[in-house]
Every structure is written in structure tokens, then in C-alpha cells.
A and B are shown apart, each in its own frame.
Chain A
Amino acid sequence: MISASPVSLSVAAMNRLEKFQDSYLWYAFKRDKIAIASLVVLLLLVIAATFAPLIAPYNPYDPEMIDIMNSEIPPVWEAEGDQAFLLGTDSQGRDMLSTMIYGMRISIIIGLGAVALQAVLGVVIGLFAGYHGGRLDAFFMRAADVQLSFSYLMVAIFMSAILQAVVGVSRFGEIAIPFLILVIGLSQWPQYARTVRASVLAERKKEYVEAARVAGFTSKRIILSQIFPNTLSPILVLSTIQVANAVMSEAALSFLGLGMPIDRPSLGSLINSGFEFIFSGAWWITALPGLLLVILVLSINMLGDFLRDVFNPKLYKG
């Protein structure tokens, strides 16, 4: 029996692969050129970000590699371009390409981290509030309303001001990533809670839930093992959109100077740092990270649109 189980596991994996190849998801994906293109672009960006130290020509965090004399060199296709710096350098002499790849890494980490946090919070609250209803539901949904009624930027400004005062501006850089994850994660949970609650309200009336109750399931088990899998498709669709949103939020916060410090820039703080040089002609410091941000967010959003269409076949596709 014991020697047989790995074999049966790999058979199960094979079955799963076969099932996936038979599935509508794969079928629809093969026919959707935009979805394929978005996934390819997104995968390239994520791979580049993941293996940034191997791919990037320079290490933008290493002061040894930065020479202020190299500052504001334009990209190679411009007249004054330098072969050594493919996309030019920024005002401190950092290689733009490397800095952008490292910056994208930070943006993606914050985006995924924030979404993970808001998803866990929102899904758990949505599931339990939707299933139990009554006061629990009323409390959390009103809390969500209150939360949504003021901008996350405002919350972030307050929190970062307080935090910077507490830990000091110099050490703020060290905790900037978890701080941004926390701020963006906490401000966006109502999106998940509302979506999940709406599907729970529809699911909990269904007979399989009643059957689970009759089978003596605890309500916790009904929620987590019976209802939760049925709410996954809206969660999946929402998650893609929310990752894009979180990346944008992070960029916005960093652009306002509330996010990543300039010595460990994310895409947003890169855009910010180059902003003042636009009029001196060094457009690439702002424009290139901006372009990368647009491509990243766009490819995620396109994939999200594709998933929404697949999971929601009744939706009108205009």
C-alpha cells in the first residue's frame, strides 16, 4: 500500500493535467489571443522580477556600482546614450533597467502581499458574516461601509506620518514594505468581504448546505469546506483586479513620498524621483518606469477580464 501511493499520486496528477486540457478554461484560453499575450507578458515580467539579481546588469542597491558621474545618461537610442546603460541612468547614476527590474520586484511583492492580506481578511469576514447573518453581518458590513467611505490615501497618510514619527524617517525604509502591505491590505478588505458575502447569501440557501447541516456538520465546517469552494470563482476574478489595484495604490503612495524610499525604489517612487527632471529633458527617468507600470497592470487586468468572461459565461461580451 505504502509503495503504491506515490504512483497513484502521480496518476492523479496526470489525471488532473488531462482534465485541465479538457477544461473550458484551457479551451477558451487557447482561442483568446489577448489572454495569451497578457499571460506571456506577465510571466516575463514576473520571471524578470523574481530573478532580478541574475537578470539585471547592475545592482542598484550596491553603492559601489553607482557613480554619480554617470547620472542622467539617456537610453542608448538617444544621441548621448551609453552602451553600458541600455535604458540610461537616473539622477543618481543608477542604471535605469536594473532599477526598474528591482523596483518592479518590490511593486509585485507589495501587490501580492497586500492582496493576500485583504483576501484572507475579506474572505473570512465575508464567509462568516454571510452565513451567520444577523448582528455579526450588520456589524462587519457597516464597518466595511465606513472603511470605504474614506480614501485609503488618507488612512495611509495618517498611518505613515505616525509611523515615521515613531520609528524615525531613517529607519522607515526598513519597514516600508510590510507597512505598505498592511496599509493597502487593510484598506481594501471590504471589496472581498462584499463579494464573498454576496455569493454566500446565494449559496447558503442551496440544498447541499441543508444536506450538510443534516449530516451533522458544524457550521465552521459547512462554511469552510462546503460553501467556500463555491465562492472561489468570484474570488479569483477579484484577486487579479485587486493585484493590479494594489500595485497602482503602492505606486500612488510612493509617488506621494509615503511609500518606498528612494534608495530602495519601487516603480512608484522611481516615477516620483524622475518627475522633477522631466523639464530638464531627462524624460526617461519618469516615463520608462511609468510605461513598465502600465504594462504590468494592463497585463494583469487583461487576464482578469479573461477569467471573468470564462467564469461568468452568462455575462454579455460586448
Chain B
Amino acid sequence: MEKLLEVKDLVIKFALRSGEVTATNGVSFSLEKGERLGLVGESGAGKSVTGFSIINLISKPGYIAAGQVDFLGVDLAKISNEEMRRIRGNRISMIFQDPMMTLNPVLTIGTQMTETLHQHNPRMGREESRRVALDKLRKVHIPSPEKRLDQYPHEFSGGMRQRIIIAIALLTDPELIIADEPTTALDVTIQAEIMELLTELCETEGMGLILITHDLAVVAQVTQNIAVMYAGCVVEKGPTARVIAEPQHPYTQGLIAALPQSRGHGERLNQIPGMMPTLKDIPPGCAFNPRCPYVMAICKQQTPRLRPGNNGNLAACHLYPDVK
């Protein structure tokens, strides 16, 4: 398989008034063409900022301090703003959390779709862009798209809006879609529909998908591989089924054990003791060491690199022997 995206040792920093803060510290993962990858972690683990760094749109004062974002052989961290703008929304699309907010309230769906098409293909005519828009609306299963095209966002329900946002993301036939918590604002039945739709589209269109979420159930349903993030680092990587069935890193183990279904009715839920450290006071060594049930002396001195665990998942943990 051909590599679509390779993120290597990505370091993102925020230059705050009180000093520099490291948001991600050497994140690496890669994606093949048509692959679906889940980026999982708690709030503040650096998932979203990693997603934004791929399209080079980290909000100020954040910046990419080191590392590469290799998209089909082009390092997106190094190219000019103008070159990046041409890729954004054209070859890499992004879907956001809240479908209520991401559509422009005063423009019809049709206008918003054709605007996107014209931005990336100024020579496309009205008829042609309308035809493409209709085609994409059909792909996301919007009923009677001809009628819907002339309606405003407030005339759609939440689930429908998210479908439209996906249709907009599909307009230019991108090679990669980054979905940042695309179903958090939707209710559970709609969530399942949207996730099914995304999976189906990735398969039929051959698109890569990076799904950023804190919902393990969603990830299990959609993705082939998972990267678990904690305090700005990837702590575990592997095929979805294996990561969920046999988590190697103590943090992932804690996450899986905390799922409500791991406990019987009326029992207290499992939880990982303590809180994720804020970016300003990440402890030396392994960032997870204050909360880890297996903590050793070395954990407080040395940051572990990713290494194979017992079942072949990569885990950043001193429990497993490091290999060169």
C-alpha cells in the first residue's frame, strides 16, 4: 500500500506570555491510502491540535516547532501559506464537531457548496458546480437534493447538517478527511448513522480518514487502526481490534477498564486515579507515571519510546523492552 500521510516527530508549541508550552511532543503516525485511523485521548491530550497541524492551521500563538507532516511526498509543515491553502479543503478536508455552527446561516446550502467548488476550481460553470453538489448530496443520502440545495441551514436537522458538511468536505474528492469529533453534538442514533456513512464513503471513494475522538465505541466501529494520545504523546498504536481487546499501555488499559460496560449493574465505575497533567507541568520521564499502577523508578527519569508490546501493538512504556 502507498503511504498517504506520514507525521513524524511532530512538536507543536504555544508561545504564551508566561512562556512556551509544548502541546504535542514528538507525535508520529502514518496513514495509508484509504486507511481509517482513530486518534483517541482525553480533552487536552493534543488530538485536535495534531489534526489542525496537518492542514497547518494551528491557531496563534501555536506553531509547529519541529517534525514533518508528509502528505504524498510533500512536507506540509514547510510549504508556503498559498500552497497550503490550495491543499486545504481540496485534497484534505476537515469536518468539525458542531454542525449547527459550521454552516453559514445566511447562505443557502447550494451557495456554500458552489463557493467551495469555485474556490478550488474557478473555471467550473454554474450548471457544472450545481451538478457536482447534487451528486455529493446524493452520496450522503440527502433526500430530494434538488429541493434541499436552495434551503438555508436552519431548515435542516442536526444530523442532516452534518451530512451536508460531509458532502461539502467531499466536493473536491479529497484524498484525506480529518474528522474532529464529528458526532459529539449529535444524539446516539444519528451518531451511528453518520459513522456508518463516513465508513461507507471512505470505502467507496478510497479516502483516508483521521477520526479524532474521545469515544472509544465510535473508534471501534469505524477505524482500522488506533493511535492513543496522552499529554501530547502517542502512547499506543495498533490495529483497532487488538488495541481494544488487549491494550498494552497502562493508560489504554485504564481507559478500556473505565468503559461502563466493563462493570455490572449497580457497581461503581472504574476510573484512572488522578488527572491528566496540564501542559505546563508535565512530569519528567513518562507523563503517565503519577497515575500508573505499575510505576517503576525508570519511569520518573526517562521518557519511554514507542516499542512493541506483548502482542505487537506499539506502546510507549518501560514495561516492555526497548528495541533499537
Residues of A within 8 A of B (CB): 1, 12, 15, 206-208, 210-218, 221, 225-226, 229-230, 232
Contact = CB atoms under 8 A, between A and B. Distances in A.
Contact of A217 (B87, B94, B105, B119): B119
A13 to B, nearest CB: 12
A215 B88 contact: yes
B101 A215 contact: no
30 contacts: A12-B150, A206-B101, A207-B96, A207-B101, A208-B101, A208-B104, A208-B105, A210-B96, A211-B94, A211-B96, A214-B55, A214-B57, A214-B88, A214-B93, A215-B88, A215-B93, A215-B119, A216-B85, A217-B85, A217-B89, A217-B116, A217-B119, A221-B119, A226-B104, A229-B104, A229-B106, A229-B107, A230-B104, A230-B106, A232-B106
B98 interface: yes
Contacts of A215: 88-89, 93-94, 116, 119, 168
Contact of A208 (B94, B103, B116): B103
Contacts of A207: 96, 98, 101-102
Interface string B106-120: 110000000110011
A225 B90 contact: no
A217 B165 CA distance: 15
Contacts, number: 66
Contacts of B87: 216
Given A208-B102, A211-B96, A229-B107, A216 B115 contact: no
B281 interface: no
B150 A216 contact: no
Interface residues of B, number: 27
Given A216-B120, A225-B115, A229-B107, A211 B102 contact: yes
A217 B86 CA distance: 9
A1 B130 CA distance: 13
A208 B120 CA distance: 18
A126 B80 CA distance: 28
Given A215-B119, A218-B85, A230 B98 contact: no
B155 to A, nearest CB: 11
Given A207-B102, A208-B105, A216 B96 contact: no
Contact of A216 (B88, B98, B107): B88
B267 interface: no
Interface in B26-81: 55, 57
> Which 6 A-B residue pairings sit nearest by Cβ, starting from the closest?
A215-B89, A216-B89, A216-B88, A207-B101, A211-B102, A208-B104
Contact of B86 (A214, A216, A225): A216
Nearest to A215: B89
B119 A218 contact: yes
A230 B152 CA distance: 13
B127 interface: yes
Contacts of A230: 104-106
Contacts of A12: 150
Contacts of B55: 214
B145 to A, nearest CB: 15
A210 B115 CA distance: 15
Nearest to A214: B94
